């Protein structure tokens, strides 16, 4: 099953309305899963907020028991108000942000670093209590080579950037379908 243009538009609207709801308590739109069956699937998702092309928040869920619709709504709220790297979003910023949603595939364990394909794969580091995630578009936006992507993942996880050279890391890869307010959907 593939996501339709109408479903993409519905998800972006849901993300925006979820954030807006916390400012003015407007009711969230109800979703008709018969009309939007893809949004009923249990898929991980991240919501990225950008303000003048700069990161303003990004939170998501790799695996979830919730529907994609509910996951995106929750991730949008968390990105706006609970990303520890930023102060909570203001109403003035809300009017200017751009929303990007990344719908994740199921993570797949890899054995060798050369299995990582830049521009296709996101990375999940899972080393006991250390966990970090980088979306596929991070490597593209920063023109990373595979080695730089691995170093950035280590840094995000609080490890030395060359840890991946010293020890074999427990990694998984995933792909993402990216939906952005910069695009037009039905």
pLDDT digits (tens, 9 = 90+) for 8-58: 999 999 999 999 999 998 887 788 999 999 999 999 999 999 999 899 999
Read off the pTM.
0.93
Domain residue ranges of the chain, discontinuous segments joined by +:
5-104, 108-174
- Residues 65, 69: Cα–Cα separation, whole Å: 11
The larger pLDDT score, comparing residue 96 to residue 26, is at 96
**How high is the pLDDT of residue 26?**
82
Contacts of 78 (CB under 8 A, 6+ apart): 47, 59
At residue 80, φ and ψ (nearest 5 deg) are -75, -35
Confidence band of 186 (pLDDT split at 50, 70, 90): low
What does the pLDDT look like over 141-152, one tens digit per residue? 999 999 999 999
- Residues 127, 157: Cα–Cα separation, whole Å: 9
Fold (topology level) of 108-174: Dna Ligase; domain 1 (3.30.1490)
**How high is the pLDDT of residue 124?**
97
Give the residue-averaged pLDDT of 64-80: 96
- Residues 2, 43: Cα–Cα separation, whole Å: 12
The larger pLDDT score, comparing residue 53 to residue 177, is at 177
Residue pair 18/76 in contact (Cβ under 8 Å)? The answer is yes
Confidence band of 171 (pLDDT split at 50, 70, 90): very high
User: Looking at the predicted structure, is the pLDDT value of residue 131 above 70?
Assistant: yes
User: Looking at the predicted structure, is the pLDDT value of residue 59 above 80?
Assistant: yes
Fold (topology level) of 5-104: Glycoprotein, Type 4 Pilin (3.30.700)
DSSP state letter for 177:
E
User: Looking at the predicted structure, is the pLDDT value of residue 165 above 70?
Assistant: yes
How many percent of the chain have pLDDT more than 70? 98
In order, the DSSP letters of 65-97 are: SS-HHHHHHHHHHHHHHT-TTSPPPPHHHHTT-
User: Looking at the predicted structure, is the pLDDT value of residue 184 above 80?
Assistant: no
Contacts of 24 (CB under 8 A, 6+ apart): none
Contacts of 153 (CB under 8 A, 6+ apart): 123, 125, 132, 134, 164, 171
């Amino acid at each position: 099953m593939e996501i339709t243009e109408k479903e993409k538009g519905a998800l972006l609207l849901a993300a925006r309305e979820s954030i807006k709801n916390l400012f003015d308590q407007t009711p969230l739109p109800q979703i008709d899963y018969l009309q939007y069956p893809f949004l009923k699937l249990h898929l991980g998702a991240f919501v990225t907020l950008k303000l003048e092309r700069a990161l303003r928040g990004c939170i998501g869920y790799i695996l979830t028991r919730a529907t994609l619709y509910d996951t995106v709504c929750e991730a949008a709220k968390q990105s706006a108000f609970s990303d520890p790297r930023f102060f909570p979003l203001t109403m003035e910023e809300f009017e200017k942000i751009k929303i990007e949603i990344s719908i994740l595939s199921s993570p797949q364990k890899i054995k060798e670093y050369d299995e990582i394909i830049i521009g296709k794969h996101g990375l999940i580091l899972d080393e006991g209590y250390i966990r970090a995630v980088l979306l596929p578009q991070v490597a593209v936006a920063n023109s990373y080579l595979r080695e730089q992507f691995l170093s950035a993942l280590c840094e995000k996880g609080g490890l030395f950037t060359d840890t991946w050279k010293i020890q074999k890391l427990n990694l998984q890869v995933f792909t993402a379908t990216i939906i952005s307010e910069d695009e037009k959907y039905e």
